[in-house]
Amino acid sequence: MTIRSIEIRRAHIELVAPFQTSFGVETDRNLLYVRVLGDDAEGWGECVAMTDPLYSSEYVDGCEDVLRRYLVPCVHANSTLESVMAAMSSFRGNYMAKAALEAALLDYFCRVDGVSLASRLGATQSRVASGVSVGIQPTIDALLEVVAGYLRDGYVRIKLKIEPGRDVERVRAVREAFGNSMLLQVDANAAYRVEDARHLAQLDEFDLLLIEQPLPEEDLVGNVELARQVRTPICLDESITTIEVARGALDIGACSIINIKPGRVGGYLEAKKIHDLCFERGVPVWCGGMLETGIGRAANLALAALPGFTLPGDTSASKRYFTRDVTEPFELREGYIDVPNGPGIGVAPIAAILDEMTSRIDTIAVPS
Ligand code: OSB
Ligand code: MG
């Protein structure tokens, strides 16, 4: 049970279609994987940071730098998960970088113990209801076509990305085309200001499940005012970076639903804590996504199998993102995706595929 080295691997994969949000357009994923290598097992983690700091302040080259300078040196040959987490906690922020190393260690230690990540986290579901996040489309007709395709695939919930100027009319068009019974929600990625409250209240007539992250990450209190003027439940994504922020946001009434993304909160253990808090309070949560490949997706599915994840997540099938995933592809079956139940995250990269995508591998020896 000795850790020998940590590998940092950089790779690249194209998305099947450009993904536009209020903060930018993604056409590919600039990948960073962390691999923990020990005597009897190995573990994989995927960093969710994007190329540029547009979703949050983190970006993938920055995460690599933080991992090399500060986080990887927290690991020793005989480290436990707890000892590494304690050492990393001295460093502020850098949630996505921490989460990538934590994920690789969790996969590694679960494999050493012969348990699945799902059971380690306390999963109670063997499959997870799957929603899909629909990027901002150039026209309403294009949007209706994309949504129709995802409904044919069997997705049980549609999330529309919105921004000022492409919001109310888009939602109205989707409701008119597909009816009121479809589960529908929107995600603004922080594109509005609290002064837009009356505008956003026009969304109330469409019976949305929630409006995700309407205001800037830091404007937690703005949501309290917004919630007074808008009936649609407010769900926070970007703003929720720790359990303390989650507790405070719920206490002041800044949101009534939370999108839990392990990468955004510094890892799966913090994500579980936020889940547990929400579960205790009867606050619904769902598992967000960051366009992960199979490595990150497998771990997210394990988390999404916890009992408090009562809303469908952005845990879509591999082919919604990539022509060829780095693991065996995750597939949608009647709107659900199976939670992997093998040891650790239950999947591993297919070497021939990953090697082809890889641009650089650095192996860092772990001190005894
Ligand atoms: O805000 O939820 C978001 C993708 C990248 C960055 C931020 C977000 C998203 C998505 C897609 O909405 C989620 C997914 O399908 O992985
Ligand atoms: Mg979001």
CA distance 364 to 74: 12
Ligand 2 mean position to 37 CA, how many Å? Answer: 33
| Residue positions annotated with a catalytic role | 161, 261
Asked whether the whole model's pTM tops 0.85, one would answer yes
By CB atoms closer than 10 A (0-12, 13-18, 19+), residue 300 is buried
pLDDT tens, residue order, the chain (368 aa):
799 999 999 999 999 999 999 999 999 999 999 999 999 899 999 999 999 999 999 999 999 999 999 999 999 999 999 999 999 999 999 999 999 999 999 999 999 999 999 999 999 999 999 999 999 999 999 999 999 999 999 999 999 999 999 999 999 999 999 999 999 999 999 999 999 999 999 999 999 999 999 999 999 999 999 999 999 999 999 999 999 999 999 999 999 999 999 999 999 999 999 999 999 999 999 999 999 999 999 999 999 999 999 999 999 999 999 999 999 999 999 999 999 999 999 999 999 999 999 999 999 999 99
Q: What are the pLDDT digits (tens) for 179-196?
A: 999 999 999 999 999 999
Ligand 1 pocket test, pick from 155, 212, 314 with the greatest ligand atom count within 8 Å of Cβ, gives 314
Cβ(187) – ligand 1 distance below 6 Å: yes
Cβ(55) – ligand 1 distance below 6 Å: yes
Ligand 1 atom with the smallest distance to the CA of 316 is: 15
Q: What are the pLDDT digits (tens) for 81-102?
A: 999 999 999 999 999 999 999 9
CA distance 59 to 40: 33
Mean pLDDT, all residues of the chain: 98
Ligand 1 mean position to 55 CA, how many Å? Answer: 9
The closest alpha carbon to 103, from 293, 304, 344, 308, belongs to 344
Neighbours of 89 (CB within 10 A): 11
At residue 1, the pLDDT reads 79
At residue 40, the pLDDT reads 86
Ligand 1 pocket test, pick from 21, 212, 332 with the greatest ligand atom count within 8 Å of Cβ, gives 21
Ligand 1 atom with the smallest distance to the CA of 292 is: 16
Ligand 1 mean position to 315 CA, how many Å? Answer: 10
Ligand 1 atom with the smallest distance to the CA of 238 is: 1
